[in-house]
Amino acid sequence: MDGETLIYLCGAHSLGFAVFHLAFWKLFDWPQSLRQTNPATRAVTQILNLRLIYVFLGVAVLCFWLPNELLTTRLGHGLLLGMALFWVGRTIEQFVFLRYNHWLVHGLTVLFVVGSVLFAMPLVGRAAT
């Protein structure tokens, strides 16, 4: 698979997670369930989720708009490495903080690993050439 296709897949992965995070208010019934927490926790939870949506959308835009730059520049390589490490860290955090034996949790874990691999693959291909 060529590097540009990999970058587009990275963009689709990021866009998918942005959409998923947009659904958190409904999926987790945040208006109701967050009332049980203190105002600071309620605010921080929603703010962090909004910032993640922003990051995922930003990465998706870069992947779709500037795939060649991500493949050929040091800055692009830095972004790809940063996102690969983001997904590695998120995979580890899944085991630390979300210890549920449920197929949906396992499915998310697989998607986190997929993100790690997708963002790392263009770098591995470049290192070999």
pLDDT tens digit sequence for 44-101: 999 999 999 999 999 999 999 999 999 999 999 999 999 999 999 999 999 999 998 9
The CA-to-CA distance between both ends of the chain, in Å, stands at: 15
Portion of the chain with pLDDT greater than 70, in percent: 96
pLDDT at residue 1, rounded to an integer: 86
Domain hosting 44: range is 3-128
Residues 6+ away with beta carbon under 8 Å from 31: 25
The CA distance from 91 to 117, in Å, is 12
Reply yes or no on whether the pLDDT at 128 is more than 50: no
Domain count, the chain: 1
The CA distance from 55 to 50, in Å, is 9
pLDDT at residue 125, rounded to an integer: 62
* 67: number of Cβ within 10 Å: 20
